[in-house]
A and B are shown apart, each in its own frame.
Chain A
Amino acid sequence: MRGVMKPRFSLRDVDWLLLSTALALAVIGIVEIYSTTSHTLLVGQYRKQIDWVVLGALLALVFSQVDYHFILDHVTGLYIFMLAGLLALLLVAHPVDGARRWVSIGGLTFQVSEMGKLVVILAVGAYFSRRRPKSVTLKDLLILGLLAGVPAGLVILEPDLGTALTFFPAIVAGIYLTGIRLRQLGLVVLIAALMVPAGWQFLRPYQRQRLVSFIHPAEGTRGNGYQVTQSKIAIGSGGFWGKGLGNGTQSRLGFIPVSHADFIFAAFAEEQGFAGTFVVLLLYSILLIRLLDSAQLAGDRAGLFLVAGLTSVLFFQVAVNVAMMIGFMPITGIPLPLMSQGGSSVLFTFIGLGLAMSVRKRRFVN
């Protein structure tokens, strides 16, 4: 139980570049949430988002002072707690919009799967750091698959396919960093390939439709082809400088669905144009590359896998979200980290960043 908390808090220990980049993205998100909801019933959402971001940033500072080994030591408990939470959600929670994703604690709604995301990163990181294999074995693959697959299965049942998918990038990152034999890699690819038709059976009609409309985007129905079409119109009509804050007709007139949440980047691109798109993607690449720097500098494998896992999940979400806005990917319910409206996502992203800062802080231990 060493070093749970360093005796003194030093400003020099905080990764200011990382934190300010994250905060910049969060502020951009808040402004865009305000712009797309100010005329709707969701008018107060941006205030809640401010609260979450402030809370998130503070927690990031707190967790940067926590020794990540302490967290990793307790990962088993966290993991069981998460599984219990997901199960309880399925059993007792009242569906909201047909899905059981939220649990209400003292008036605040809380998305358990967002916590799951972080816990799976920690669990996978802990597994890799403890096993220390020279290359990933079949047994490793099986355990890792279960580690992420069990909570992912529960999340799919909510149903929330998008979030469930975010449980796996950390494993991919871990395998990449550890190394894998060609045979095992072939097996992973094979299993993944087999999952496609098997998974199709488990998909809900709306999820199947999303995939179909990704392959045939011209279907002008009100479904997902419609969403992508409208999203592309929003982005394309923004031009270089954008239509200006609050002038995005596509988002304000309701052509873009949930323009404050999953589709926030389309709304942003409409109002701020390519210039804005460029800035935001630049900020994300700074954030992600900086995180990987921390991973490179990590004092031990635990820190390395933790940060790499976190980075891979964040990157996965950014890339998929940004890509699906322009039809490069099928529509899945994946929020844009830090920008999309949603307290749980913001909170756990910041906590993750806090842990990454903690890893960076302890880089010179050896």
Chain B
Amino acid sequence: MAARFPEEPRLPAWKIPLLQYLIAAILLILLIGYWRLQITEHQKYLEESQRNRIRELPVVAPRGRILDRYGRVLVDNTPAFSVLLSRDTPLKLTPARIAGIARGLGLDPADLQQELNHAAALPGFQPVVIKKQASMQDVAFVESHRVEYPELDLIQVQQRFYPKHDVAASLLGYVGDVSEDIIAKYGARYHPGDVAGKSGIEREYNSVLSGIDGMRRVVVNSRGQEMGSLATTPSTPGHDLRLTIDLNLQLTAAQALGDKAGAVVALDPRNGQVLTMVSHPSFDPNDFAGHIDPEQWKSLTSDPEKPLMNKAIQAQLAPGSIFKIVTATAALETGTVKPNFTVYCPGYVNIYGHTFHDWSWEEHRRGHGVVDLHRAIVISCDVYFFTLGKMLGIDKIAYFAKQLGLGSRTGVDLPGEEPGLVPTPDWVEKYFRHKWYAGETISVAIGQGAVAVTPLQIAYMVSGVASGGTFHRPHLTFRNELAALGLDPPAAAPRKLRLSPSTVNCVTGGMWGVVNEPGGTGGLARVAGLQISGKTGTAQVVSEAFYHAGHKGNFKDDAWFVGYSPPENPEIVVCALVMHGGFSSAAVPIVAQVIKAYFEEKGQRTPPQNPPATQAITMARPLAPAHNVQRGE
């Protein structure tokens, strides 16, 4: 060997050991690096590895169904897919990625970006719902882009389904995404993308209907594919809610109202249960179940006929002659007149230097002649009630209007009920800063001027008067069922108004005559085999002078009719409003049809009963032809 490399230079003895120490030192430094990760920061990385592989997916609780009084389904659920976006994946959501996702799902990238900006304040492990009502194309997109977009996920949800579409839409309401302020307020209970009732029953009873979402913890791999389920917290479905609504009557009323704008309300005066509540024009709440398209929303909110408005509780209009029930009650209860008080009606009357015309004069250039109170109600004589108005004064009229339930909310269990208006001198001074004109009292006496009511208030008022002063708060749900769900519904005890029996008899007798006596304005409400009482109303939308001046727009009078049956101890009160119906005759048949349907469904027709005792019986005559019913009262 030595011969092979004769001049072998000697290697300094320290060189190799130095290398050995160097190697040991470097490996030691690396070991310290591992110590830092595995010991010092272990917890942090352990959590990150957990987050990496575990995703929490909501198990959406189905909302409770809404049923009618006989258990027929008014609102149901239908399975659908929602697309979720997880934000805690290691992938950064760059604008390009967002654009790619938006393109794949047919969303607007700017909207999606905005949605994610909103969600930025929420915990990162909570996924964001970026698309509801996912189509088959959307589902296919998510499934086939697991690698490119592992942050996308699909969950099955129970989407709201309204099988009757626009029937009862404004009553039932619709659902929408929980607003951010609600999430802020109620915190953990709601997640973004959750739905909540936005109007109607859906909103009023949201706490009953909405369930509590569950949670599924799943293991996912680096591509976002589910590898298994760790734990599932089941969802708690919402409770079904039974309404007092009778679907049959609801459909009948909707059909009877047809395409005319207006409302129909039916109450059971014995307990205040709302049997029917129709408002037209309406909308299809199914449009709101997923994501409503902004154009559609705009058209719904900008429609002058206000399809989103529940006209049964939100239309505040002059009641016209229906208000004569109030004036008559006030006159009798205060003892201002007796039922046999007569007035000669030449077709007009001069009060406070102003000539007030009877509707009869407007139509026929003649008056009603001598009328007593009963007859004045039957034929809706304006001159008679102008006279009573002058005798009573506004304070007494307003007092009784309020006692009979006008000018304040009935307290029905729906959001957004309007109070209407009973004008008083105080009110005029406060809002218009002028003195009450005595002439205004005369207009109010026949339900014109500033007086405003909702159809529900009219039904409520007549329920109370026809039952002799017992006012049951209108409601849509069964008290005992709500109590069983832990809610505390308002007391069931009715409000009692002390009305003398003679007053009740006189007013209800007049209403019987409206339908059943010759010349009665509600003859169209007659239904063979049924006894129906009621009162018509035709309310001017604008002054006669304005109407005849030929202004553009729909200024035709609003048509009202409120009817009930049977005349004593009534079971059903129906109020119909046909906006711009022109004549009260537009509203009368609607009420008749609903009452007819009610008794048909009940399976028993009430036998003809005697009208209230103080009135002479006039046998029902054949149905009056339509042209005999005059315009306006």
Contact = CB atoms under 8 A, between A and B. Distances in A.
B38 A274 contact: yes
A269 B49 contact: no
A310 interface: no
Nearest to B94: A221
Contacts of B23: 285, 288-289, 292, 315
B52 A295 contact: no
Residue among A173, A237, A238, A239 with max Cβ neighbours from chain B (10 Å): A237
A253 B44 CA distance: 19
Contacts of A238: 38, 42
Interface in B552-570: none
Contact of B19 (A176, A229, A239): A176
Given A254-B221, A319-B27, A134 B91 contact: no
Nearest to A289: B20
Contact of B38 (A69, A269, A366): A269
B34 A235 contact: yes
Contacts of B42: 236-240
Interface stretch (A9-17, A82-90, A322-330): A322-330
A139 interface: no
Using C-beta atoms within 8 Å of the partner chain, give the interface range for chain B: 35 or more
A308 B11 CA distance: 13
Contacts of B46: 236-237, 239
B48 A233 contact: yes
A249 B30 contact: no
Interface in A122-161: 129, 132, 134
B20 A292 contact: yes
A237 B45 contact: yes
B53 A253 contact: yes
A132 B7 contact: yes
B8 A232 contact: no
A79 B326 CA distance: 117
A253 B221 CA distance: 4
B219 interface: yes
A240 B37 CA distance: 10
A249 B52 contact: yes
A323 B9 contact: no
B619 interface: no
A281 B9 CA distance: 34
B33 interface: yes
Contact of A328 (B24, B30, B49, B52): B30
A180 to B, nearest CB: 12
Interface string A231-257: 011111111100000000110011100
A46 interface: no
The majority secondary structure among interface residues of chain A is helix
A176 B30 contact: no
Nearest to B12: A179
B297 to A, nearest CB: 37
A177 B222 CA distance: 47
Contact of A236 (B5, B30, B38): B38
Given A233-B49, A253-B53, A176 B15 contact: yes
Interface in B20-45: 20, 23-24, 26-27, 30-31, 33-35, 37-39, 41-42, 44-45
B222 A255 contact: yes
Given A233-B45, A269-B34, A273-B38, A300 B1 contact: yes
Contacts of B92: 219-221
B227 interface: yes
Contacts of B16: 292-293, 295-296, 308
Contact of A253 (B30, B34, B222): B222
B38 A254 contact: no
A220 B91 contact: yes
A302 B1 CA distance: 11
Residue among A229, A296, A308, A311 with max Cβ neighbours from chain B (10 Å): A296
B2 interface: yes
A269 B35 CA distance: 11
B349 interface: no
B5 A132 contact: yes
Contacts of A236: 37-38, 41-42, 44-46, 48-49
A237 B33 contact: no
A277 B31 contact: yes
B21 to A, nearest CB: 9
Contact of A277 (B8, B9, B38): B38
B39 A253 contact: no
A274 B34 contact: yes
Nearest to A318: B27
Nearest to A325: B34
Nearest to B227: A253
A302 B37 contact: no
Contacts of B49: 233-234, 236-237, 249-250, 255
B220 interface: yes
A121 to B, nearest CB: 16
Contacts of A274: 34-35, 38-39
A297 B360 CA distance: 133
A120 B35 CA distance: 35
A213 interface: no
Interface in B40-98: 41-42, 44-46, 48-50, 52-53, 90-92
A222 B223 CA distance: 11
B4 interface: yes
Nearest to B25: A285
A354 B11 CA distance: 24
Nearest to A254: B222
B20 to A, nearest CB: 5
Interface in B200-246: 219-223, 227
Contacts of B52: 230, 233, 249-250, 253, 255
Nearest to B150: A222
Contacts of B33: 323, 326, 328
A236 to B, nearest CB: 3
A110 interface: no
Given A236-B42, A237-B50, A250-B53, 15 more contacts: A222-B90, A230-B90, A235-B37, A236-B46, A237-B45, A239-B46, A253-B52, A274-B38, A277-B38, A288-B23, A292-B16, A299-B1, A301-B5, A315-B23, A328-B30
5 contacts: A132-B5, A250-B53, A255-B49, A274-B39, A319-B30
Give the top 8 A-B pairs by smallest Cβ distance, nearest first. Answer: A236-B45, A237-B49, A236-B37, A254-B222, A274-B38, A253-B221, A296-B16, A365-B1
